Amino acid sequence: MTSRPVVAILTDFGVEDTFVGQMKGVILSQCPNAALIDLTHSVPAQDILAGAFHVGAAWHWLPEGTIHVCVVDPGVGSERRAIAVQAAGHTFLSPDNGLLSALMQRHRVDAAFDISGFVPESAYVSRTFHGRDLFAQVAGRLAAGARLDELGNVIDPDELIRIDLPEPEVSPNSILGEIIMIDHWGNAITNISSTVLGGPDENWAVECGDARTDHLSSSYADAAVGGIVAVVSSMDTVEIAVRDASAASRYDLQRGMPVTLTRLS
């Protein structure tokens, strides 16, 4: 095991343009040995809530010490702060707009820094592309060994902006949640995490619009091809799927639709 630094990048920049490539160039200019991982660049444009969900779901699978560059930044160029957050052994760079909310909801912030005033040595900071001109520059410096207290100012974690994430309503025999994401296969990911479901012997009926199933399964393969199946997904929340097809298309499922779980007797 070497100490090769890992930088993970998550944006709403898409891959049609060279924006992400420019960010990577800046990072490797500072730290040629960094390993770069694209988490996704398909966060819907300026959709902080969707970005927050992706950050919260993915960070855990990166190596300890990973530097996460998270940029969904409708307020770039305004007075919004740029921040660095240390939590759970990782470092997260982000605009201070709630993009780290899902992470911070579950994990204590060990230290937070305002990096808004960082000025790279050999480049200017545009007012339209902080992903490249500020966040990638700071990530490269951190990867090369700089410390955050050299690049920014300590701030109180309680000052960080957090956005409300939809939380399920949990009653003894029912849970009311919602769809928070449709994934690549058309599976509907909900905000109902496994922790509110009770033990493995419990079972639940699941209903969302016309999508209904009378039990939770443990894998997609428990359904026949074309059949509906609800599972606790790899993101550890209830997910509604159709085996070998798109549940979203079949049942016209969309983000925000309510999902009801009813405990089976």
* By CB under 8 A, residue 18 contacts a copy of itself: yes
Binding-residue pattern over the window 192 to 231 for a copy of itself, x denoting contact by CB under 8 A: --------------------------xxxxx--------x
Pairing outcome for strands 109-114 and 228-232: unpaired
* By CB under 8 A, residue 28 contacts a copy of itself: yes
Enumerate the β-bridge partners of residue 217: 231
What is the nearest approach in angstroms of a copy of itself to the Cβ of residue 7?
11
**Concatenated DSSP letters of 178-218:** EEEEE-TTS-EEEEEEGGGS-STT--EEEEETTEEESSEES
What is the nearest approach in angstroms of a copy of itself to the Cβ of residue 16?
4
> Using CB under 8 A, which of the segments 50-58, 97-105, 162-170, 253-261 binds a copy of itself?
50-58
Give the 3-state secondary structure of residue 76.
coil
Q: Which secondary structure element, helix H or strand E, spans residue 51, and what is its range?
A: helix 48-58
CA 137 to chain centre: 22
Q: How far apart are CA 226 and CA 6, in angstroms?
A: 40
Site for a copy of itself in 101-130 (CB under 8 A): 126-129
> Using CB under 8 A, which of the segments 75-83, 101-109, 157-165, 199-207 binds a copy of itself?
75-83
What is the nearest approach in angstroms of a copy of itself to the Cβ of residue 227?
13
